[in-house]
Structure formats: C-alpha cells, structure tokens
A and B are shown apart, each in its own frame.
Chain A
C-alpha cells in the first residue's frame, strides 16, 4: 500500500506542473498587464503610472526570456520562472493592494471556511444517508415516489435561489437569523445557521437520490434475498448488510469532497459575509489580484489530487477485497 501511495504521489507531479503551467497561461493570456494597470489607476491613469505599476508587478519581464538580465539570469529571471517558483515552493507572495502575506491570509481564512463547510459536510452526509435509507425502506410506495419528485425539484433549483429566498423568508420575513455577518469563536454559530441550513437543503436532493439508487441496487442483490430467506428483519438487512456494501460509491462521493472543505464556498461566504477563502477568492477575482487567484487555483488542484488518493485508500478500508499495489 505504501508503494501505491508513493506511486500515486509521483503521478501527481505532472498534474501539479500542468496546473502551474495552465494558471500561468491563464493569467498571462487572459489578463493583459496594461489592462489591469489602467483599470487599477482609474480616471487619471497616466502613462508613467501605468508603466511603473507594470514594472512593480514584474509584468514587464520577459515571459520565458529576459533580455535585460545577465548570463543565466536571462532564463531564470522571467515571469514564467517567478510564477513556477512561487507555486511549487508554496511562497505565494503578497496581495497586490494591501501587501498582505498570502500564505498567512490563506491560513487565517481557512478557519471561517471550515466552520461553515465541516458542519455542512457532516450533517449533509448523515441526513442524506438516513433519509435515503428511509426512502429505500419505503421503496416503490407513493412516499418513495414523492420523495424522488421532491429530490429532483430540489436538485433543479440554483443555489442562488436558495440563498435569496432563504434570506428573504427566514431572515427578513421570519426574522429568525441575522441575514449577514460573522463573529469569531463560539458566536460564529449564530451566523452559520442560515447558510448551513440552505446548503443542506440544496445538497439534500442530489444526495438522497444518489444514495437511494445505490441502496436499491444493493437491495436487488442475491445476498439480500438470502438474508431475507434466513428470516432477517428488513431493518437489520438495511443497516447491517446493504449499508456496508453500499459504502464504496458513498465513499467516492464523500471522500473526494473532504479536501475541498478547506477552500470554503464562494457564493455562501459572499452572500452571508463569512470572511473565509471563498470570499477571498471572489475579492481577488474582482480586483484582478492574479497572485491570489493563481494560489487558489493551484491549491484547488492539489486538493483534488489529494482527494483522489484518499478515496482510493478509503476503498481498502471499506472493501477487504480491494488491495492497493
């Protein structure tokens, strides 16, 4: 297994390099330095100031070849090398406007993001599985049919609608939750209730439908019939046999999501004022802070690779037949 993990980790090397390259192309082809500088300077943008800003940000250096530099530095003192170095060494540098250390900002922003995403993840998982068990238990009844219809309905609605309606109904009309804001420590709970509730509702439809399908597939298997023939109760069959065997697809879906909990949620954080990483990313996009955006895209790719690895490992735990070599 160790060999497998090492091998898989090595596989991620080209992926990581590819992502670095991709972000480099993205932020150097899509955003022209001159455009970013003019935008930042506004009504009184003057040529000197534009040139100076481009220089300060290092945007005037050669992309892969620096004519002004000496000797070997012609090849190393370039925008491409700068970019790769920053990402590969996890030295993301500073934000453009307020010169904050991006590494520190990311660490700080993780806390509010996690306080939002972890409860959503855990409660979503528990609620999703228990409701799907419930629905699977009543399979092929009107309850099942109704639940599936409701699930499809829930899935088809955009999260923006949940947020807007949730804020209007629960925060404005019923006045049960603060509509916006955040507080550190224990007081965060008050502000997290509404976004968590909304995210749960949004996620539930897809989750229940997915888990139900998996459970029903298992219920049709021979071993279930055997268990029933032995005279086992429906409850024991569901919880002891079916659930265990349905774990592989469930794990694929959930373990892959774990690393992304660290990145927070773009929309929820922005609409509810939670100062996490999602919020930071939105701000960076709005201000054209390519440093922060590149760092976040890169982290996202790394976490995705990590999620895949974790999923594979978790299979061995759920299914003894699987060996990683």
Chain B
C-alpha cells in the first residue's frame, strides 16, 4: 500500500511538472510580444485589415468597394477627387487639365500629363516603365467595353460614345465564340489626336463623363502588361499610382509599397472649413505618398480584427454590432475606455439610400396614390434606426442622400412622418377603411425580400407589424438574391425593399432610379413613369451644378414625394474609429487612391503599443495556481483506489 501511494504521488508530480513546464515553454517565447507583424525595418508602415481578398486587381473588374479600394492605390485615372474639399470636386490626375467641352456638349478634348511613367515591371522592354500617352486611355477604354475581359463597368459608357456600342456588341459576340477583339481597330468617337491629347465624341450630352473618367474602370492600363501576364494580369497590376503591389498572399496579406517612380504629386493646401483645426494641412505641399508601405491583413472574422485594433495593431476600425456597446455610449459618444486611449470617432453619412419600392405597374398599390401615402405614414423609421442600425442612420425623406448636391436638409416629406392616426385616415380615403376594401376583404400586400438572412427577415417582420397597425395584412416572401432580381426585372413584385449605393457624386445617379425609360430591367425597379419628372430629368441631367439645377432637382423631389413610388427608408451613417497616431485621415464617400495622403506617427504608435501590450503574467500565474490547487485537493481527498476492477 505504501509503495503504491508513493508511486501515485510520483506520477501526480510528474504530470503536474510536465503541465507546468509545457505551459512555461509555450508562453515563454510568445510572451516577448504579441505583435503579429514582421519588423518594419525603419520603414513607415500603415497597418490595415481587409475583410476578404480583392476579387482580382484588374481595373475593369474592380466593381466592389474592397477590390476598387486597392486598385485605386495602384492605378491612376484621368481625374481624381480633391481629398479635402466638400462637396466633392474633381481635379486632374493623369489629365493635364479639366476637359475642354465643345458648345454642343458633344466633344470632350482632354490633354494628358507629360512625363508620367508606368511603374517598372518586367513586362516592359528593359524592365523600365514607359511614358503614359493618350493612346493608353484609348486602349484602356476599349478594354472596359470588351466583354472578353469580363468588365464590371461597361454600363458607364454604354450608349454615350460614338462607335463604342458597336465595339461592345461585337465583343459580346466574340466573347461567346471565344475570339479576341482587334485592338488596332479605330473607334470613331474615341481618339488620340496626338501623343498627349485624348478626344471623345459623344452621342448625347453626357455631363457625367468626367466622373466616369475618375473611376478606376477607366484607369490607364499598359497593353504590355495585359499581354505579358495574360490570364494572370488580375494578380500582377502595373499602374502609375502612388503604390505598387509588393506581395499578395491569398487569405493572408496584401502589401503595397511606395512606387519609386511615382510622379511629383503634392499634398493639397486647400480644403473646407474645419480642416485646419483638424490638423489636415500640416502636410500641405509634402511629396506623396507619405507612408512607405501599406500592410493589409486579410481578416474574415470581426473579433480578431477588433482585438487587433484595440491592441493598436490596426490603425482604424469600423464597429460591428457585437462590439457596439463596448465602444459607443447610449448618447452615441465614445466610451471612457476608448477616450482614454485617444481613439477618435468619425460619424460619416454614407451616400446610400435604402427604400421600400412599390411596383407602379401593380394594379393595387401602383394605381392608388393615397394607399401608398398611407403605408408611408405607417412606416416607423425611428424604430428601425434604433433596432437595426444601432442608431447609425438618418431617416430618408427623398431619394437624394446627404452630402450630395441637391440634398435638402430641411426637407420634411409629409408622408414620411410616422403617424398612425393620419395613416388610418389616409387609408380610409384610399378606399380601405380599417384596411378593408370595397369588396369587404382585408387588404393583403406581398412583400418580397432578397435574402434569407435574419436581418432581412426581421426587417420584413417589422414592415408587417407597421402595416398591421393600420389593418393591412402583409405576406412576406423570402427569395434568394438572384430570384429577387429576376422578379424585379420581370416586374412581378408588389412591394419590396432595396438600396442603391452611389457610383459618382451627381444626383443624376439617384434620380435615374425613378426615370421612366429606366424601368425594369433598368435600375428603375419601381417602374415609376411620370412624364413631368422624365422631362425634368432629361433637362437636369445635362446641366452643370448651380441654382438653376438645384431648383429643378427640388421640383423633381417634390413630385416624387407626392407620388410616393417609394417609402424612402434610411441613409446609413458609418462610424469610423482611428488611433491618434494616424494623420491626415478624412472620410471620403468615393472609392479612390487616398492612402497616399495618410500619415503615421511611428514613435507614438510604438510607445502606445508597448504600453497597451505588456503581457499580463499575473492572471496566468493565478490560473495555473487554481488548476494546481484543484489537482492537489482532488489528490488529497481521493478515496482509496480499489484493487479490483471498476
């Protein structure tokens, strides 16, 4: 008995020692630092996170914000947005000046900057990047309109440039047959007049062309790179931008480094009021880009990204629903913890509109204006903002989001003020007192959603509840996104909820959603068709921003408000957190190459990171202690082991 006890004790000690030793071994080397990055070696590095890998880095395919956001750092277009000025304003990027437009608005002549070179790359003879010429833009725009390249932005120029549609149609045929386009073929309305002059001939006045020439879709792409890399071009971007791709390991990291042959580009010295106070002019006149590298980690989950941000290993962060209360107080300010860290909070209205659309061709809701107005009155926006967006949204009154030319902050849509009593009255006027129609039956509305996710479902149930308040019964139909789109295209929906994210900062981009000729399959999903609105739209579309245009937009919005083809729901507001060592950061609604302006105070970051990340050995010791104590207690109070079987 004695001997066995001794053996037992020995065994117990051995296991405990092993466990302890193992933990120390495991923690020892890790304890040095929880820094997830390789050493910066004296370089100024910006650390960011991407939610997923970009879907390739070919400019003509950069349709989503994430891919576009990386492409815009590597490729330049003819124009770019001014970084600081608001409302958004274009300035020349690879163009030497703003376009010269002929009096009829049909001919655009654009001088191209001289001496700009593509980044050095093996695709060029001798490996040295050659100069960008007007011919490169002709090539790049032909590429955009060639279906063989799977472009995402051909809608931008369709029907606008003389001869380009024929090129596009041919490319659709050729792509189906697996044949390539002949890029030597001239296009009537798209010409390089000389080495540095580009000219567009348009089929109709298209005031928005300048915005199209800002987007990455029309960025300068060297033909050499496309031909050299072929199918692999999506992984080998070759541009003229401030950064070039250093390393891209899928699902791991994407690193951009300073393009050493980047043109002389300077930090702006003009902006809007408040920029000086925000310290945004300290870098005025500085050569861009300011940082040497941008280290993007691909992080698919919210929690690790959030912890990395709190530890100082990411410069900025959004706030997911799960972490909202940790960072933001009910008064919508930063919590103490984040204040102490010196984190800044930017509330930034996004240029987005979410709306409930009525199919205007539907015999019930389409034909009955008072019914639509009644439903709009019964729609509880504030409740939604609080419960679905954590308060991060503003109630939409019309189709145009804040920050956009034509947005009227004082607009009060009379049918968008939540008022159940008035809604009931209006419903009675519509012929459905208490929700019961002339045939004595309760009114039933079909509401389609394009996703089976809980958020979409909850929102639909909220809609059903709101309408139930005034006696309308709602049948919710859940579709996949594709089915949903197909139904909108076939005009088979009755009431449904959709959103629109802007493409360029011109109200035309939002008002076109209500323009009659754009009916489904076009983007006018509610099939609204009002001759007066259409006439005003055509007039407004070709105008420059000014009081006259503003007056027309106001009339258009008033018409839409009264006709109520939509219940405008919300414009979302994004909350952005940033550490205090990040400099020159200003939120921008448009995707673009803004990382070149960003700065980092490396010393401050280093100091704070160290301060925030001292390993907490005490709690480790405490946990090990508790485990040890538990084992001891068990060992001491154990019953004598039986000698036989169990």
Contacts and interface: CB of A to CB of B under 8 A. Distances in A.
B646 A220 contact: yes
B172 A48 contact: yes
B638 A143 contact: yes
Interface string A32-43: 101110110111
A178 B36 contact: yes
B150 A56 contact: yes
Nearest to A163: B303
A178 B235 contact: no
> Does more than half of chain A's interface fall in helix, strand or loop, or is it mixed?
helix
Given A138-B8, A219-B645, A283-B250, 4 more contacts: A32-B482, A100-B250, A167-B304, A280-B250
Given A52-B176, A139-B646, A190 B234 contact: no
B29 A189 contact: yes
A27 to B, nearest CB: 15
Contacts of B644: 225
Across the A-B interface, the 9 shortest Cβ-Cβ residue pairs: A35-B482, A181-B36, A180-B304, A275-B252, A178-B36, A141-B638, A220-B645, A174-B616, A143-B634
Nearest to A38: B482
A46 B231 CA distance: 23
Contacts of A279: 251, 300
Contact of A138 (B29, B63, B235, B638): B638
B30 A190 contact: yes
Interface string A165-199: 00110011111111111110001011101000100
Contacts of B176: 51-52, 55
Contact of A97 (B38, B234, B642): B234
Contacts of A134: 11, 15
Interface stretch (B48-56, B360-368, B383-391, B583-591): B48-56
A180 B36 contact: yes
Given A55-B175, A174-B616, A273 B299 contact: yes
A304 interface: no
Contacts of A52: 147, 150, 172, 175-176
B641 A171 contact: no
Contact of A174 (B4, B64, B500, B619): B619
A38 B641 CA distance: 68
Interface stretch (B99-107, B206-214, B305-313, B400-408): B305-313
B5 to A, nearest CB: 11
A2 interface: no
A34 B251 contact: no
Interface string A224-251: 1100100001110000000000000000
Pick the most buried of A138, A167, A175, A280: most chain B CB atoms within 10 A of its CB: A175
A282 interface: yes
A47 B501 CA distance: 20
Given A35-B483, A38-B482, A190-B30, A175 B615 contact: yes
A183 B641 contact: no
A214 interface: no
Given A100-B250, A283-B52, A216 B634 contact: no
A55 B620 CA distance: 58
7 contacts: A41-B63, A41-B152, A44-B153, A45-B485, A98-B55, A137-B641, A173-B619
B231 to A, nearest CB: 5
Contact of A286 (B33, B37, B52, B249): B52
Interface string A47-60: 11101110110000
Interface string A126-158: 000011001001111111001000000000000
A272 interface: yes
Nearest to A172: B307
B303 A167 contact: yes
B481 interface: yes
B31 interface: yes
B486 interface: yes
B285 interface: no
A99 interface: yes
Interface residues of A, number: 79
B639 interface: yes
A4 to B, nearest CB: 36
A270 interface: yes
Contacts of B150: 49, 52-53, 56
A210 interface: no
B614 interface: yes
Contact of A275 (B27, B35, B235, B249): B249
Given A100-B250, A174-B616, A164 B63 contact: no
A271 interface: yes
A46 B36 CA distance: 43
B30 A180 contact: no
B297 interface: yes
Given A43-B501, A275-B252, A142 B36 contact: no
Nearest to B67: A97
Contacts of B614: 175
A191 B36 CA distance: 8
Nearest to A275: B252
A220 B643 CA distance: 11
B7 interface: yes
B26 A197 contact: yes
Contacts of A189: 29
A271 B304 contact: yes
A39 B73 CA distance: 26
Contacts of B251: 273, 275, 279-280, 283
A33 to B, nearest CB: 10
A134 B15 CA distance: 9
* Residue among B7, B153, B298, B646 having the largest count of chain A Cβ atoms under 10 Å: B646
Contacts of B56: 97-99
A56 B307 contact: no
B482 A179 contact: no
A176 B29 CA distance: 9
B175 A146 contact: no
Nearest to B38: A183
Given A44-B63, A134-B15, A280-B251, A176 B620 contact: yes
Contacts of A99: 56, 231-232, 234-235
